Structure 1
Amino acid sequence: MTQFAYVGCRTTRARNARGEGISVYKIDPRTAGWSLIQVLRTEENPSFLALHPTLDILYSVHGDLDLVTSYSILPDGRIAPAGRQSTRGRNPVHLALDLTGRWLVVANYRTDSVVSLPADDGGALGAVADLCEMKGTLGPHKVEQNYGRPHHAPFSPSGKWVVVPEKGNDRITVLRLDAASGRLGIVHHVSCRENAGPRHIAFHPSLPKAYVINELDSTVTTYDFDDQAGTLTGIDVVSALPRCFCGNSRASEIEISADGRHLYTSNRGHNSITTFSIDGDGQLTPGHFTPSQGETPRFFAIAPDQRHLYVANEDSDTIVPFQRHGDGSLTPAADVIRVGSPTSMVFRDATRTASA
């Protein structure tokens, strides 16, 4: 099945970036090759993207600004600007829609807040409905933990909770979103290891487990996740780096395969993707460390067909396709995609777009 890939990037001199805007690619179902069909020049740093679950709408936050934008997805896969709203905070780094598509939640990294914005029946965003300040005790790293730095705000699989790793506070906070008003309420905090720098979280598809990639110490923490109460309990910590690596590295992204058998993380510095196997109890065992074939793998994503994993190497301006094998290992596949300073990507079926 033909698919489209939408790629966000950084664009500004302040970020030493070479991106131009949101890039749209058509993916050939036979060869897995990517063909560029559009580069839409947007407001600066369209750094993280999200698709509406049912409508032909793409959303983006814009790093270093206070802005979230929306785009109509046209029948040929291209996009056109549709709207914009303030996030009431600086440097929004992540956004997620609830399961109904009625609320968008955004993490404001620089000003330590999470906000909710309403989306109408057509996907258009309204002004911020609520702002939840993420006040906490800063960690010991004087440069990377000088403010709270909420970095991720996904919904739990049930849609009941918004779970926010706070890199600067060495803490994870669970929020409840009121579906009527958009009000955000804190229901749970869990403290992390000092100087861990929790960045992103992934939920197991069938077990009551969640896994957090810790940026500063390059580890993965496994949590028991109680979806009824919205609580996390840490049970295990493993390194995302090989024992023989003695240099500096910062962990970045985390994702679990759809079958729940493998977990992947990215390492900026070691410039690799780590593959962990997941046993029947949810325990992690590191298995493979695959070079990312580029510099600074800030982001990666498993394709919807689960056969490929695409790595966005921000500082070498490439997206590298890897084939996934039964044991979770990765091998380079197809041609490298050249794109300036890539930082995120999302995938969409062409049949869904054609039905717009």
Structure 2
Amino acid sequence: MSSSEIPRHSMNRRRFVQLSAITAGGIVAASYNIPASAASTSGENKMANNKTVQAPRFAYVGSRTTRERNARGDGITVYRYEPETGACTLVQTLNDLVNPSFLTFNHPQTHLYCVHGDLSEVSSFAIDAKTGELSKLNTVSTQGKNPVHLSVDPTNNFLAVANYAAGSFALFPIQDDGSLGSSSIPELLPGEAGPHRVEQSGSHPHMIPFDPSGRFLVIPDKGLDGVFVYRVQNNNAKLTATQVSMVKSREGSGPRHIVFAPGGKYAYVVNELDSTVTGFAYEAEQGVLTAQEILPTLPSNFTGNSRAAAIAMAPSGKYLYVSNRGHDSVATFSIEENGGFSIKGHTPSLGRKPRFMNLTPDGSRLLVANEESDNIISFDVDRATGGLTANGQSIKTGSPVCMIFKTT
């Protein structure tokens, strides 16, 4: 990640979506001879925990856009999503945005927020409920360079943003119309930097989600080799954050992203620099993580350069997916009731550098964003076995780095 400000760019923009079968000359993904489920359905879907989720209606893709990133993205692209077939149809391109690299909704999904990677800005948008199209509301300063992740608190009152290069996070009040107010004073993450001379020059928070209870922010810090937990308080309309715990990771591991298992008793952190996943027990009342197990994300015979990136949890809580940039694959892990996990196999990502991936809310498909090959590949998920099989559909879009689904 670069810590310098990146100016607005001029680039050759290409706006198109391609839903096509993988050609005979491409790689055919078959995870480990496990057939894919054809369980994609429209309307409502019942998950293993008996919750009902709506099938997605729209998909939003964020991309990198600047020459300094060697990027080819168009900004934010909006697609109509067909749950029965998985087809995506382009409905809008917002091409005047710089590096809208990570996206999130408020909880009613009436508004969307994005950080602008390599800059110091976060933007808000209203969503048209019928068309899915975005209308920009405002942009405010994050008071820290290179914001990389953001999340909305359970009450929809404020937004939390992680500033990677600045080693800080900031909290923003959400106004009645969905726009953002000015941030609180950024909170610096304390600690000693890891040993990697380039990637660990100081604190580099890479994600800032809320835990399942909504009481705590959980922040993997790639630069400090640790995972922080903070409690947020709203005192007389003033947002403040207090650290309640921090668990150290292996030296040089570079914690990047975290996901929680359904029920919130276990959490899994992907470590970017040493390509591992750490399984944790989570004590939700106190906000304390306790490491239980660490497993590699790469095959034992792989000797090339690779970095772990994205992590996704199946809605059932039985399977975990991690992307490898360099090996260009998705590692699949099975999860036991006690939180233990084991590797099941690796599936080619059908592109270069899979930076991000996301499951559809019903868990029937996994969409893998290959940043360097400008495609998002769709995989059918066998929800009984966790197996992945490429279903022949892809979205052709420049430098994709995030994809989220709107269901309402």
TM-score normalised per structure 2: 0.84
Q: CA deviation at 1:130?
A: 3.3
Q: Which amino acid aligns with 1:130?
A: I
1:78 aligns with 2:136: no
1:319 aligns with 2:359: no
Q: Which of these residues, 346, 352, 372, is aligned with residue 289 of structure 1?
A: 346
* Structure 2: distance between partners of 1:341 and 1:225: 35
Instruction: Give the structure 2 partner of residue 67 of structure 1.
Output: 121
Q: Which of these residues, 395, 400, 408, is aligned with residue 337 of structure 1?
A: 395
SS of alignment partner, residue 14 of structure 1:
helix
* Structure 2: distance between partners of 1:207 and 1:164: 16
What's the CA shift string for 1:217-273, capped at 9, x where partnerless? 000001111111111111110111111111111000111111110011000000000
* Structure 2: distance between partners of 1:35 and 1:291: 25
Instruction: Give the structure 1 partner of residue 289 of structure 2.
Output: 232
Contact residue 202 and residue 254 of structure 1 kept, 8 A: yes
* Structure 2: distance between partners of 1:276 and 1:207: 18
SS of alignment partner, residue 255 of structure 1:
strand
Instruction: Give the structure 1 partner of residue 405 of structure 2.
Output: 347
Q: CA deviation at 1:207?
A: 5.0
Instruction: Give the structure 1 partner of residue 175 of structure 2.
Output: 120
Aligned residues: 350
Structure 1, 94-103 or 120-129: larger mean CA deviation: 120-129
Contact residue 374 and residue 398 of structure 2 kept, 8 A: yes
Q: Which amino acid aligns with 1:158?
A: S
Instruction: Give the structure 1 partner of residue 152 of structure 2.
Output: 97
Instruction: Give the structure 1 partner of residue 65 of structure 2.
Output: 11
The percentage of counterpart residues that share the same residue type is 45
* Structure 2: distance between partners of 1:55 and 1:283: 34
SS of alignment partner, residue 316 of structure 1:
coil
* Structure 2: distance between partners of 1:278 and 1:333: 25
Q: CA deviation at 1:339?
A: 0.5
Contact residue 212 and residue 264 of structure 2 kept, 8 A: no
Instruction: Give the structure 2 partner of residue 27 of structure 1.
Output: 81
Runs of 4+ off more than 3 Å: none
Q: Which amino acid aligns with 1:323?
A: D
Contact residue 268 and residue 277 of structure 2 kept, 8 A: yes
Change (3 A) 1:142 1:339: same
Change (3 A) 1:156 1:207: closer
Map of 1:183-194 to 2, 5 A cutoff?
183-194=240-251
5+ residue gaps, structure 1, are: none
1:201 aligns with 2:258: yes
Contact residue 269 and residue 277 of structure 2 kept, 8 A: yes
Q: Which amino acid aligns with 2:367?
A: Y
Contact residue 55 and residue 122 of structure 1 kept, 8 A: no
Map of 1:264-275 to 2, 5 A cutoff?
264-275=321-332
* Structure 2: distance between partners of 1:341 and 1:321: 16
SS of alignment partner, residue 335 of structure 1:
strand
TM-score normalised per structure 1: 0.96
Map of 1:116-265 to 2, 5 A cutoff?
116-180=171-235, 181-206=238-263, 208-265=265-322
Contact residue 125 and residue 178 of structure 2 kept, 8 A: no
Structure 1, 297-306 or 30-39: larger mean CA deviation: 30-39
SS of alignment partner, residue 60 of structure 2:
strand
1:88 aligns with 2:146: no
* Structure 2: distance between partners of 1:217 and 1:118: 36
Instruction: Give the structure 2 partner of residue 307 of structure 1.
Output: 364
Contact residue 131 and residue 184 of structure 1 kept, 8 A: no
Structure 1, 209-218 or 122-131: larger mean CA deviation: 122-131
Q: CA deviation at 1:287?
A: 0.1
Q: Which amino acid aligns with 1:200?
A: H
Q: Which has the higher contact order (CA 8 A, sep 6+)?
A: 2
